[in-house]
């Protein structure tokens, strides 16, 4: 698994009294537009700048790019700023609050929802804002064929990124064995905050949750 480190300044360090044992892995998408300038559609420089704190005060532990390579921004003993004001009701009826302090954040590099723009073309959220303003669209969505689910369109998740994300999750679960055999501990951002839509219905969450099984193994996984 190709991995690079880009340590974020936006995190709670090990030893901070607010850091709690890990109870959830929270899945996100970056919402970064599909790049026509690279062969795989990701813009590593833009992701790196975000992880290094150059653009906004948010962070995550891992970002998996569309080609399956991984960018890591924090250690698993630390907590990142990925969940905001959020909460989650567990299957046992307990409510976990301040999810940042008890979770690991993982991101797919994926733009999320897409919007028809006529002539078979699509725009992402940023393009939609321009359409509403009547601005000329310079960059239409240039990625793989969108997936339609319940009348909405989404960027598909590449097989390379899904397979790589499985390895990331397997690593996390191996470090925190309390997560094993409890697949509900993988949640989407949308599950912990009602205003969010990531990772969306195109994300194969059920497939990713298979990693939580004690019998699951990935023969080509190695840890960096």
The per-residue pLDDT for 223 is 37
Please answer whether residues 209 and 183 qualify as being in contact, where contact means their C-beta atoms are separated by less than 8 angstroms. yes
The per-residue pLDDT for 55 is 80
Would you write out the chain's pLDDT as a tens digit for each of its 224 residues? 789 999 999 999 999 999 999 999 999 999 999 999 999 999 999 999 999 999 889 999 999 999 999 999 999 999 999 999 999 999 999 999 999 999 999 999 999 999 999 999 999 999 999 989 999 998 999 999 999 999 999 999 999 999 999 999 999 999 999 999 999 999 999 999 999 999 999 999 999 999 999 999 775 644 33
CATH number listed for the domain at residues 3-111+155-212? 3.40.80.10
Please answer whether residues 203 and 158 qualify as being in contact, where contact means their C-beta atoms are separated by less than 8 angstroms. no
In this prediction the pTM is 0.95
Q: CA nearest 120: which of 142, 150, 136, 151?
A: 142
The per-residue pLDDT for 220 is 61
Domain boundaries, the chain: 3-111+155-212, 113-154
């Amino acid at each position: 698994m190709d991995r690079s480190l880009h340590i974020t300044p936006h995190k709670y360090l090990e030893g901070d009294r607010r850091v709690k044992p890990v109870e959830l892995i929270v899945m996100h998408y970056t919402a970064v537009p599909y790049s026509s300038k690279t062969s795989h559609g990701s813009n590593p420089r833009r992701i790196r700048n975000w992880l290094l704190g150059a653009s906004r005060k948010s962070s995550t532990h891992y970002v998996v790019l569309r080609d399956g390579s991984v960018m890591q921004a924090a250690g698993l003993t630390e907590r990142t700023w990925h969940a905001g004001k959020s909460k989650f009701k567990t299957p046992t009826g307990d409510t976990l609050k301040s999810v940042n302090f008890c979770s690991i954040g993982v991101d797919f590099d994926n733009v999320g929802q897409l919007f028809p723009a006529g002539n078979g073309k699509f725009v992402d959220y940023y393009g939609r804002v321009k359409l509403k303003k009547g601005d000329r669209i310079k960059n239409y969505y240039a990625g793989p064929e969108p997936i339609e689910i319940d009348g909405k369109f989404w960027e598909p998740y590449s097989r390379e990124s899904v397979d790589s994300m499985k390895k990331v999750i397997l690593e996390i679960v191996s470090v925190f064995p309390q997560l094993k055999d409890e697949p509900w501990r993988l949640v989407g951002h949308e599950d912990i905050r009602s205003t969010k839509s990531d990772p969306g219905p195109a994300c194969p969450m059920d497939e990713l949750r298979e990693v939580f099984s004690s019998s699951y193994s990935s023969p080509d996984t190695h840890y960096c």
